[in-house]
A and B are shown apart, each in its own frame.
Chain A
Amino acid sequence: MLTDSLSKAIAELEEQQVAELVKERLDSGVSPLEIVNSLQQGMAEAGGRFESGEYFLGELIMCGEIMQDSMVILEPLLSGSNAEYKGNIVMGTVKGDIHDLGKNIVVMLLKGSGYNVIDLGVDVSKEKFIEAIKESNAPLVGMSVLLTGCQESMKETIDAIRAAGLNTKVLIGGNYIDELVKNHVGADYSAQAATDGVKIADQIFGA
């Protein structure tokens, strides 16, 4: 059960109340990092409610929007504080596909759970994926695809990552993703629901 009023407010999607509480706490000298922690706890609760079937995607998107609005205020104040991430994750929608809704929800939940997400956007080439994995040394890369016609480019990307000698774990997700697709493209994990991403990340990072 959440006890913090800010965590509760974001979990309940009370937009106005969150904005007021963030301002109030900053004014009274609470550290920005502590405020972010409260918001993250609330987001985790919203994720839990999605898993239990109480919340739907509409609620998750709303929650992410409130978080994002709060971060506009909080992020500039965070520099200098010792925000510790659970780890780096590279994310992107694969080459040929410009759908970003599913990816954005997963990115938001991962960020909310304390991961540093390097979001490469949509229509991402295999070269870009590899470059980002090398640069960030990310143990996990997430790939999103909606169009079945672009699943092949997912396979090409994974093949290229392996050929480059990177042993990053690969998680894939998208409406038409199932075991068949996972095995065909050679991914390590496949996500069926929005919240699976965080569960799998926690497993990999031992968080």
Chain B
Amino acid sequence: MNEKEMLYQKRLERYTTAMDCGKPDMVPVAFGIGEWIVKYTGTTLQEIYYDLDKSNNIVSEMLPGLDFDIFKGGPSLWWPPMFDAMGSKLYKFPGIGVDENSTFQFNEQEYMKADDYDEFIASPTEWLVNHYLPNISKELENPGSYRSTVALIKGAAAFAISGGMMGAAWGKWTVDHGIVGQGTGFTKAPFDTLGDALRGMKGVLLDLRRRPEKVLAACDAITPHNVNCGVAGAGADTRFPCFAPLHRGAYPFLNPHQWDTFYWPSLKATIEGLWAKGKRMLFYAEGDWTPYLEKIAELPDKSIIFQIDTTDAKKAKEILGGRFCLQGGMPTTLLTYGTPEKIKEHVKRTFDELAGDGGFILDSGGVVMGDAKKENVIAMIEAAREYGTY
């Protein structure tokens, strides 16, 4: 084993031990190179998004000398050409729809209408192909047409190209720097699939009053697909968790009755379905989930890593600690408005409060965007090493 392979093994061990609620040699720290990197590299966000080589080179130049365990990836979350090939209406990308240095954004609409529920529930995939794709993509408006077929091929090819490039880049980073990726695969809460992508926030909230039984039936219909998505997209890997960004379950969107009835059962079933196949979920609880911690504690032990964003960290530790690994601890706003000294103090305090008996990974609470300061992000991983030894 060469030096980098040994480093990889050591970091993997740290991550795996924490995931299983154990106490590694030191607190593992997760790190991502977000959009904040752009202002230090003399490029625009648009270039970073569209030119994957450029983006990956920036990551390759940044990684040497940084000591962290779990890599969350570089600044390119999506490769826009895939969406452009299909004339997608779903996103606004830097330079296309928003300023060249503004981040990508989701264009939330009622892409599925209230009248579509029955057809969707009867066969979700069929409905997506026949109605959703034409609704969200200008080039796919006439399924089966010459234009639509070519656009589909181009979109699929772009997806494969970006997958190949990113796979190669991750392989190189792993070999050259001994870093461990955070996860494999991706899924969502069924209610979020419905509420984010299909009906939109307002649509789904009104549905809860106007057609609650349809919402439940749709979530049930989505659940097996979301279980499959988390496993299949990962090539059946079960060493690492699948990423699940969770949205509409955050406080205070739904009242407790709605949360218990509409949000939780299908998400719980998704997590249990994944866990039955040995697949863990990175329960990326964006926003505040404090009121629902007791319910989340019903899950099988170790079946999730719970991400603390603006959830009350002490309560999360009290209710979930010991049975589920917790990840987070660094408020995203502190990475922008804090100073390296403040970051270090905060890391020390966080370790005292949350890391004591293991089962904890230091990470930023939410997604770190273009506003973060490089010196603060670096201070976080440095402080993790300084104070992190058990």
Contact = CB atoms under 8 A, between A and B. Distances in A.
Contacts of A65: 202, 206
Given A147-B369, A149-B370, A151-B336, A97 B105 contact: yes
Contacts of A96: 98-99, 102-103
B98 A123 contact: yes
Instruction: Give the 8 A-B CB pairs with smallest separation, nearest first.
Output: A149-B369, A149-B370, A96-B102, A56-B255, A58-B205, A56-B252, A180-B337, A57-B253
A181 B333 CA distance: 8
A24 interface: no
Contact of A151 (B251, B255, B310, B371): B371
A53 to B, nearest CB: 8
Contact of B205 (A62, A99, A152, A181): A62
Interface of B is mostly: mixed
B258 interface: yes
A152 B209 contact: no
B371 A58 contact: no
Contacts of A95: 99
A176 interface: yes
B329 interface: no
A72 to B, nearest CB: 16
A97 B92 CA distance: 10
Nearest to A95: B99
**Interface residue tally on A, bucketed by range:** 20 to 34
Interface in A125-149: 147-149
A101 B99 CA distance: 21
Given A15-B209, A62-B209, A98-B92, A152 B371 contact: yes
27 contacts: A13-B209, A56-B252, A56-B255, A56-B258, A58-B255, A61-B202, A61-B206, A62-B206, A65-B206, A95-B99, A96-B99, A96-B102, A98-B92, A98-B107, A99-B105, A147-B105, A148-B336, A148-B366, A149-B35, A149-B369, A149-B370, A151-B336, A175-B310, A176-B332, A176-B333, A178-B333, A180-B337
Interface in A1-57: 13, 15, 55-57
B221 interface: no
Given A56-B253, A58-B254, A101 B371 contact: no
A166 interface: no
Given A150-B102, A150-B103, A178-B333, 10 more contacts: A56-B255, A57-B252, A61-B202, A147-B369, A148-B369, A148-B371, A148-B372, A151-B336, A152-B371, A180-B334
A162 interface: no
A65 B205 CA distance: 11
A108 B258 CA distance: 22
A58 B252 CA distance: 8
Nearest to B257: A56
Interface string B53-94: 000000000000000000000000000000000000000100
Contacts of A148: 332-333, 336, 366, 369, 371-372
B358 interface: no
A156 interface: no
Contacts of B251: 56
Of A97, A98, A99, the most chain B CB neighbours within 10 A belong to: A98
Nearest to A123: B98
Nearest to A64: B202
A52 B202 CA distance: 22
Interface string B199-235: 0011001101110000000000000000000000000
Of A58, A97, A101, A123, the most chain B CB neighbours within 10 A belong to: A58
B287 interface: yes
Interface string B241-263: 00000000001111100100000
Contacts of B255: 55-56, 58-59
B337 A181 contact: yes
